[in-house]
Amino acid sequence: MKALLIGEYKNGHIDESFYELVGFANKIGASSVGFMVAPLDVKPEYDGKVYIADISKAKDYNPKVHKGLILKLVEKENPDVVVFSHSSYGWDLAPRLAAALRAGQISEVIDVDNGEYIVPFCNAKLRRKVKPNTPKAVLTLQSGAFAPLKNNTAQIEPFDYTEEDTNLEFQGYEVAEKTGVDLTKAEVIISAGRGVGKKENIEIVRSLAKALKGELGASRPVVDAGWLDESYQVGTTGQTVAPKLYIACGISGAIQHLVGMKKSNFIVAINKDKDAPIAEVADVFVAADLLEFIPMLTSKLTK
Amino acid sequence: MNILVCIKQVPDMESKFKISSDGQWYDQSDLTFKINEYDEYAIEEAVRLKEKLGNAEVVALSIGPERTKEVIRKALAIGIDKGVHVLDNDSHEKDPLQIATIIANYAKDKNFDIVFLGMQSQDRASAQVGPILSELLGYNCVTTIVGFEHQESKVNVKRELEGGIKAKISVKLPVILTCQLGLNTVRYPTLPNIMKAKKKELNTINVNDLLNEQPKVVNLQAYIPEKKKGGILLEGKADEVADKLISILKEKTQVLR
Ligand SMILES: Cc1cc2nc3c(=O)[nH]c(=O)nc-3n(C[C@H](O)[C@H](O)[C@H](O)COP(=O)(O)OP(=O)(O)OC[C@H]3O[C@@H](n4cnc5c(N)ncnc54)[C@H](O)[C@@H]3O)c2cc1C
């Protein structure tokens, strides 16, 4: 078994997710080689060969060029699996590669057993066991699912490529302004999810936050709906927090939210759906209608 | 301008799921179905573009059993011009390459300039169909867009990355775009538009006329994960539960004294 591990180079660093791919290869007992588009002088802490395509030529985002590079490498190394992180880079590139190779792709792998892969579905309320039936397979791994592995310093092999894609022009990044609260420093966070129902009901959650001298947080739909601004969002595309106490109000517990808050010391979920996946991480799960329960709790706390 | 929007009917994620009798999927009876949330943004963006351009036709395509027509009708009521229903009672058994193949075979001779899809479905969440479709049709593709602007022969989009960062990308038509949450604010169909939608064209094609691809991934088993042990479940009267929660917080955290 041989794995080609596709690392990511982001904001001037090798993304830590690369080491989870290494951990995965180790877990399945595969030999592996790495690949990433990065400066030629990077030093991955990896015990093996890493092919580097010069980022100044291949650019941060140019999927056609990146796909071409990986296809060339697949031909050279003949791996059984090509492994990406399930990230904006991975979910964009992996299916293009899989289609070009006519290979089966399995997204968001959380575990593996003897060539059978486990993936969550229906907002992680259910799991599926699946298996590729093509000679090669393309995988994306859910972040945090495999323990990272770091080892020595890789042997770097520059990987040259010249093709351009003139159909697509990358015009730079837009970074959200840091406004409002810094949730990363908060000791108590009370977050509102879509389950609050409407903008006015945010006040119910805000009162609870006040009673507990904590900060208000939010899941993404609350921000998308304009009920609170971006600085309140917890999750992959929001902030990563680790307070002493996190109370999730009307939040189902989608992986992208969990990633941002599961390091919290003590987690309370208030949700009327006992099967909500937030139960996976909650220390206390309050099965209740938050519109009834939170005002009751707040009044007892402020009494 | 020819625009295609691909939509999927998915169960309400707040449902109580049961495994189907063959052990391969969720039991589809007794579930409430709706439009995949990510596809709602795709529909809205397509309708906005049509309104802006005036001379555009927008087609919505959905693959699934008879009930799938409900989501197509809703799309028509929001402002889509024409519906295409690919009738497939076993659509849940198709892998993403097969789904993309069905769409590609429908779209290949129709010269669509833009294809909008959701970035993923809420049930499978594979996030593969859009990019695979772009490979099959030879179109450009940008995934996870949270910003869209059309300009003659190209579009300018914002692609969402981790940590609130967005990449600005300008890409030539024809293009496939997968839509992320928050791209726009979705409108509700109005009653007059619901009435008008009843007269719009909705054609049905049998899946066998469009599918010529074997699955590349085999489904072995579906199951309900074991519940985390150790978490405390509180339920009952709000009053009593609140007291219990307060005493737990006092005991287990330093937040309350
Ligand atoms: C690439 C990507 C990045 C993302 N980034 C983020 C991110 O950074 N942060 C984030 O949060 N999400 C993110 N998401 C979205 C994520 O997948 C979920 O859609 C989102 O977290 C769901 O938010 P929610 O739990 O508030 O809403 P829902 O999933 O709709 O859940 C609402 C919950 O409220 C409960 N509820 C409803 N009414 C009541 C009531 N009266 N009382 C009690 N409970 C009630 C329901 O049972 C349900 O469990 C991202 C998605 C993608 C694809």
Using one digit for the tens of pLDDT, what is the confidence trace for B25-38?
999 999 999 999 99
A236 lines ligand 1 (CB under 6 A): yes
Inspect the interface and report whether the beta carbons of A221 and B181 lie closer than 8 Å.
yes
Which of A107, A125, A158 is the C-terminal boundary of a domain? Answer: A158
A114 Cα to the center of ligand 1, angstroms: 33
3-state DSSP helix/strand/coil % of chain B, to nearest 5: 30, 30, 35
Going B93 to B98 to B102 to B107, the CA torsion angle's sign is positive
Going by their DSSP bridges, the two strands B154-160 and B165-172 should be labelled as antiparallel
CA distance B11 to B26: 10
Distance (Å, rounded) from C-alpha B61 to C-alpha B77? 14
Q: Is A250 annotated as a binding residue?
A: yes
Is residue A166 a part of any domain in this protein?
Answer: no
In a domain? residue A40: yes
**CA dist list (Å): A255 to A124, A133, B161, B179:** 8, 27, 16, 18
Q: Which atom of ligand 1 is nearest to the CA of A278?
A: 49
Q: What is the number of domains present in chain A? A: 2
The pLDDT value recorded for residue A59 is 81
User: What's the pLDDT score for residue A11?
Assistant: 86
B residues 10-69 closer than 8 Å to A (CB): 11, 13-14, 16-17, 19, 26
In this structure, the answer to whether residues A217 and A121 fall within a common structural domain is: no
Alpha helices (H) in A195-247, listed in sequence order: 202-211, 220-224
Span A267-293, pLDDT tens digits:
999 999 999 999 999 999 999 999 999
Residue-wise pLDDT tens digits, B162-180: 988 999 999 999 999 999 9
Tell me: the pLDDT tens digits for B200-226? 999 999 999 999 999 999 999 999 998
pLDDT of residue A165 exceeding 90: no
Same domain, A247 and A154: no
Residue B51 above 80 pLDDT?
yes
pLDDT grade, residue A60 (50/70/90)?
confident
Is the same domain home to A196 and A285?
yes
Whole-angstrom distance, CA of residue B191 vs CA of residue A145:
47
Which residue's C-alpha comes closest to atom 2 of ligand 1? A256
Does the residue A171 lie in any domain? no
Asked if residue A167 is part of any domain, the answer here is: no
pLDDT confidence tier of residue B23, bands split at 50, 70 and 90? very high
The protein residue with its alpha carbon nearest to ligand 1, atom 49, reads: A252
Residues of A in contact with B245 (CB under 8 A): 268, 284, 286, 297
Has A86 been labeled as part of a binding site?
no
**A296 and A149 share one domain:** no
3-state DSSP percent of chain A in helix, strand and coil, to 5: 30, 30, 40
Taking a contact as any Cβ pair under 8 Å apart, which residues of chain B between 80 and 119 contact chain A?
95-97, 100, 119
- For residue A296, give the nearest of B230, B238, B256 by CB distance: B238
Q: Is A220 annotated as a binding residue?
A: yes
User: Distance (Å) from the C-alpha of residue B174 to the closest C-alpha of chain A?
Assistant: 10
Chain B interface includes A173 (CB < 8 A)? yes
How would you label A86-105 residue by residue, b for 16+ Cβ within 10 Å and e otherwise?
bbbbbbbbbbbbbbbbebbb
The whole-number pLDDT of residue A247 equals: 98
Q: Which domain does A295 fall in, by range?
A: 183-302
A251 is in an annotated binding site: yes
Asked if the Cβ–Cβ distance from B224 to A187 is below 8 Å, we say no
Q: Which of A142, A257, A264 to mutate to test ligand 1, by most ligand atoms within 8 A of the CB atom? A: A257
Query: Degrees (nearest 5) of the Cα angle B161, A41, A30?
Result: 70
Strand partners, B6: B61, B117
Residues near A28 by beta carbon (within 8 Å), at least 6 away in sequence: A1, A3, A112
> Of A124, A158, A192, which residue is a domain's last?
A158
Is the same domain home to A189 and A52?
no
Mean of pLDDT values over A50-57: 94
Q: Domain holding A118: CATH number?
A: 3.40.50.620
Residues A191 and A246 in one domain: yes
Q: Are residues A111 and A237 in the same domain?
A: no
Q: Under an 8 A CB cutoff, do A285 and B136 touch? A: no
Q: What is the pLDDT of residue A58?
A: 85
Task: State whether B246 and A168 contact (CB < 8 Å).
Answer: no
Examine residue A38 and state whether it is found in any structural domain, yes or no: yes
CATH number at residue A271: 3.40.50.1220
What local confidence, expressed as pLDDT, does residue B207 receive?
A: 98
**B219 interfacial to chain A (CB closer than 8 Å):** yes
Residues of B in contact with A244 (CB under 8 A): 253-255
**Interchain contact, A130 vs B252, CB within 8 Å:** no
Domain membership of residue A249 (yes or no) is: yes
- Cβ neighbours of A133 in B, within 8 Å: 215-218
Are residue A243 and residue A129 in the same domain, yes or no? Answer: no
Is residue A14 domain-shared with residue A141, that is, in the same domain? yes
**Which residue of B216, B230, B243 is in closest CB contact with A132?**
B216
Q: What is the 3-state secondary structure (H, E, C) of A6-21?
A: ECCEECCEECCHHHHH
Question: A238 and A144, same structural domain?
Answer: no
pLDDT at B218: 94
Question: To the nearest whole number, what is the mean pLDDT of chain B?
Answer: 96
User: Does residue A49 surpass a pLDDT of 80?
Assistant: yes
**What is the arithmetic mean of pLDDT over A226-250?**
95
Residue A263 pLDDT class (50, 70, 90 cuts): very high
Contacts of A121 in chain B (CB under 8 A): 123-125, 222
Chain A residues near residue B100 by CB distance under 8 angstroms: 99
Task: Tell me the per-residue pLDDT of B52-101, one tens digit each, with 9 for 90 and over.
Answer: 999 999 999 999 999 999 999 999 999 999 999 999 999 999 999 999 99
Same domain, A242 and A106: no
Task: Please compute the mean of the pLDDT values over residues A137-161 and round it to a whole number.
Answer: 95
The residue type found at B200 is: K
With an 8 Å Cβ cutoff, is A164 touching chain B? no
In the predicted structure, residue B105 carries a pLDDT above the cut 90: yes
Q: Do B224 and A121 touch (CB under 8 A)?
A: no
The pTM (predicted TM-score) of the whole model is: 0.96
Question: For A87, which residue in chain B has the nearest alpha carbon?
Answer: B162
Reduced 3-state DSSP string for A15-60: CCHHHHHHHHHHHCCCEEEEEEEECCCCCCCCCCEEEEEEHHHHCC
Give the per-residue pLDDT at A123: 94
pLDDT at B42: 98
ipTM higher than threshold 0.85: yes
Residue type at B109?
A: D
Report if residue A226 sits inside a domain.
yes
Please name each of the domains of chain B with its CATH number: 2-209 (3.40.50.620)
Residue closest by Cα to atom 30 of ligand 1: A194
Same domain flag for A96 and A236:
no
Asked if the structure places residue A243 within a domain, the reply is: yes
- pLDDT at residue number A190: 98
Instruction: Read off the pLDDT of each residue in B185-199 and give the average, rounded to a whole number.
Output: 94
Residues 195-234 of A with CB under 8 A from B: 212, 214, 220-221, 223-226, 230, 233
CA of A86 to the centre of ligand 1 (A): 19
Pairing of strands A155-158, A188-192: unpaired
